[in-house]
């Protein structure tokens, strides 16, 4: 079992992909009786409505009642899917991460060269960090962190920690396949992440002080970062 899956099994909050089970979904005697199948369209409505309200008003100033009304669902439907705002915010983070940086892009196929695998991951990571969605989420979490440390911890688990673990697993795979001469996969993952996250593109977008990079600019930077990294491990 991977480190990421072990972390998810231990986590008491939302899983990485998809919405968390409501407390009403199970009990001391096992799962509750099945009702009508969940409508995935309602989840999409809820996440879109919550994201819009959180970005406009912040998490603290937004109520579950407002989210239900904005999403066009009942409060019962909302609470069945998301027990509180923290879990709902975490689900939004999960959705954004999966959209820009799906877990599958960290997998190393037998035919993959190290450069191909690293380029794929670095391109996805920069695209995520410099996206308008990520800038908005970072702004909200910075504001909320002073009075809601649990939300900050959940954000870290669903975003940065998820990427860190997947990166470590990718470096371990590159080591075991002998595609790269990596002695310490954890250190290699940290070094490669620093090359990507430490780019001027990412820093400026994190501070919301510059335009987002173009696809051509991302490609050019990623090629240089991957070439630099491979010099240390080939």
Among 164, 153, 150, which Cα is nearest to 101's?
164
Summarised one tens digit per residue, pLDDT across range 177-215 is 999 999 999 999 999 999 999 999 999 998 888 789 999
Q: Under 8 Å CB-to-CB from 157, ≥6 apart: which residues?
A: 7, 11, 13, 90
Rounded Cα gap, residues 172 and 210, in angstroms: 35
Rounded Cα gap, residues 97 and 112, in angstroms: 23
* Domain extent listing, the chain: 102-233
pLDDT band at 23 (very low <50, low <70, confident <90, very high): very low
Four-point Cα dihedral 199, 201, 206, 207, nearest 10: 110
pLDDT reading at 5 higher than 50: no
pLDDT band at 24 (very low <50, low <70, confident <90, very high): very low
Among 122, 138, 155, 125, which Cα is nearest to 207's?
138
Residue 27 pLDDT: 37
pLDDT reading at 101 higher than 70: yes
Residue 8 pLDDT: 41
Helices 40-57 and 132-144, interaxial angle, to 10°? 60
pLDDT reading at 104 higher than 50: yes
Q: Residue 230: in which H helix or E strand, if any?
A: helix 215-233
Rounded Cα gap, residues 100 and 126, in angstroms: 9
Count of beta carbons in the 10 Å neighbourhood of residue 40: 10
Residue 209 pLDDT: 84
Tokens standing for 42? 């309602």
Residues present in the chain in total: 234
Summarised one tens digit per residue, pLDDT across range 109-162 is 999 999 999 999 999 999 999 999 999 998 999 999 999 999 999 999 989 999
Residue 37 pLDDT: 54
CA atoms within 13 A on the CB side of 187: 6
Cα angle 212, 218, 222; round to 5: 145
**pTM (2 decimals)?**
0.77
Is the domain 102-233 a CATH 1.10.357.10 member? yes
Residue 41 pLDDT: 87
pLDDT reading at 2 higher than 80: no
Summarised one tens digit per residue, pLDDT across range 26-80 is 333 333 334 455 677 899 999 999 999 999 999 999 999 999 999 999 999 999 9
């Amino acid at each position: 079992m991977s480190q990421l899956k072990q972390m998810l099994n231990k986590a008491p909050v939302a899983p990485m992909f998809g919405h968390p089970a409501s407390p009403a979904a199970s009990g001391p005697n096992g799962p509750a009786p099945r009702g009508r199948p969940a409508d995935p369209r309602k989840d999409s409505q809820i996440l879109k409505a919550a994201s819009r309200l959180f970005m406009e008003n912040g998490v603290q100033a937004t109520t579950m009642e407002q989210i239900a009304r904005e999403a066009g669902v009942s409060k019962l439907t909302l609470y069945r899917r998301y027990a509180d705002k923290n879990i709902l915010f975490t689900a939004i983070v999960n959705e954004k991460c999966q959209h820009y940086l799906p877990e599958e892009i960290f997998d190393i196929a037998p035919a993959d060269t190290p450069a191909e695998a690293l380029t794929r991951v670095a391109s996805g990571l920069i695209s995520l960090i410099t996206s308008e969605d990520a800038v908005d989420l970072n702004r909200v979490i910075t504001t909320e962190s002073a009075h809601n440390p649990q939300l900050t911890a959940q954000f870290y688990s669903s975003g940065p920690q998820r990427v860190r673990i997947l990166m470590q697993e990718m470096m371990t795979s590159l080591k075991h396949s002998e595609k790269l001469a990596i002695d310490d996969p954890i250190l290699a993952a940290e070094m490669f992440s620093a090359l990507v996250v430490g780019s001027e593109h990412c820093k400026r977008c994190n501070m919301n002080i510059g335009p987002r990079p173009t696809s051509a600019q991302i490609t050019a930077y990623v090629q240089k970062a991957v070439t630099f990294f491979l010099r240390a491990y080939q």
